């Protein structure tokens, strides 16, 4: 579908003013917007789709995606799910007014996240998936590009265009949709499959991607990627040991053998708590070491004021002397600012 080029910015639609383009997709365009009802205090993401007078199968697919997203998000209210504020049709355009997440996607943030931040983000995602599965909704397009960070660093699941609501215990579908690098073997085979179990597979791929920087199943072209997914062979040694069990159990070829989302949630909750405790303890030791080092420098220089350049060099030398390589690495990490301020 062509982008919504007819909209000239800034553009007012009802009580919203579209100010700039956030991005484009197969569905249309996403804009950053403000509301006349709330002034400049709040920002929104407005997704627009232009529907032609005569719809072909491609247009109808985009319309279905719009409807799926609306119907799913109307039912959901969770801190790790993108919030839907409003939706309406104006002329030939359909609009979704969504929560604006200024922190960007998980995909773009991977290189800058610390180990603890990655664990926390994955736990946020798992909490969100657990919630939507409890509401009998399968996302069906879990991937790093569909995870956004809000201003507090909280990870939120977005883009429910492929999501589907199920009733009772029947969760079997046969649709071959999704992102190739994240789709499960049963989707490729074209047999009826559990959409919830396929979400678990995609989650396993996401966790692997976050902690290794690569995909477990990749290739030079589509055929090679498909072959590798069906073979199920990947390098598990690249995954941090505490996460090996989660990744391995999520990427099992038989859907019924995969780890339950509740078990993944319990595992990551404990791992997140342990990681936070470990880094807090290490930081405390490093801070105490810094105080001792600083005191020694003051005694050596006979000054109590700000450190001169000479004394600063002495401090650096003492830091390297008193701290082991591993402690020095942690010291350097904690004295630099992280780009994301994740919530507690």
Say whether pLDDT at 299 is over 50: no
Q: Which domains does the chain have, with CATH numbers?
A: 11-99 (3.30.200.20), 106-270 (1.10.510.10)
Average pLDDT in the chain: 83
At 205 the pLDDT is 99
Element (H, E) at 148: strand 147-149
Tokens 């109808």 map to which residue? 60
Contact status, residue 286 vs residue 154, Cβ threshold 8 Å: no
Burial 24-38 (b: 16+ CB within 10 A, else e): ebebbbbbbbbbeee
Handedness of CA 279, 280, 285, 287 (dihedral sign): positive
Tell me whether residue 150 is one of the annotated catalytic residues: no
Per-residue DSSP letter, 258? S
- Specify binding-site residues for ATP: 47
Active-site residue, from 53, 77, 86, 141: 141
- Candidates 318, 312, 311, 266; CA nearest to 289 is 318
Say whether pLDDT at 1 is over 70: no
DSSP state letters, 87-127:
EEEETTEEEEEEE--TT-BHHHHGGG--HHHHHHHHHHHHH
pLDDT greater at residue 222 or residue 2: 222
- Specify binding-site residues: 47
Residue 323 confidence class, pLDDT cut points 50, 70, 90: very low
């Amino acid at each position: 579908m062509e982008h919504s080029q007819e909209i000239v910015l800034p553009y007012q639609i009802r009580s919203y003013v579209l100010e700039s383009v956030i991005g484009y997709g197969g569905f249309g365009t996403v804009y950053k917007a403000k509301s006349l009802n709330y002034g400049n205090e709040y920002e929104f993401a407005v997704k627009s789709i232009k529907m032609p007078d005569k719809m072909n199968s491609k247009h109808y697919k985009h319309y279905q995606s719009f409807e799926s997203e609306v119907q799913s998000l109307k039912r959901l209210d969770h801190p790790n799910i993108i919030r839907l504020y409003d939706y309406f049709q104006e002329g030939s355009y359909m609009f979704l007014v969504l929560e604006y997440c200024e922190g960007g996607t998980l995909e773009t943030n991977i290189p800058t996240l610390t180990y603890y931040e990655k664990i926390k983000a994955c736990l946020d995602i798992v909490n969100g998936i657990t919630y939507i599965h409890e509401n009998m909704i399968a996302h069906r397009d879990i991937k790093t590009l569909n995870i956004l960070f809000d201003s507090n660093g909280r990870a939120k699941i977005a883009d429910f265009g492929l999501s589907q609501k199920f009733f009772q215990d029947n969760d079997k579908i046969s649709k071959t949709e999704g992102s190739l690098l994240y789709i499960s073997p049963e989707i490729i085979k074209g047999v009826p499959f559990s959409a919830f179990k396929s979400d678990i597979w995609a989650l396993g791929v996401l966790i692997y991607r976050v902690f290794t920087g690569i995909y477990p199943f990749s290739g030079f072209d589509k055929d090679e990627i498909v072959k590798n997914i069906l073979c199920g062979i990947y390098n598990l040694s690249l995954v941090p040991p505490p996460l090996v069990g989660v990744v391995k159990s999520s990427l099992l070829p038989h859907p019924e053998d995969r780890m339950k989302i509740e078990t993944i949630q319990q595992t990551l909750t404990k791992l997140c708590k342990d990681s936070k405790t470990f880094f807090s303890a290490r930081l405390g030791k490093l801070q105490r070491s810094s105080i001792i080092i600083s005191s020694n420098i003051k005694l050596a220089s006979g000054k109590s004021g700000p450190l001169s350049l000479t004394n600063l060099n002495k401090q650096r030398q003492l830091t390297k002397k008193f701290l082991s390589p591993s402690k020095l690495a942690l010291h350097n990490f904690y004295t630099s600012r992280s780009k994301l301020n994740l919530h507690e």
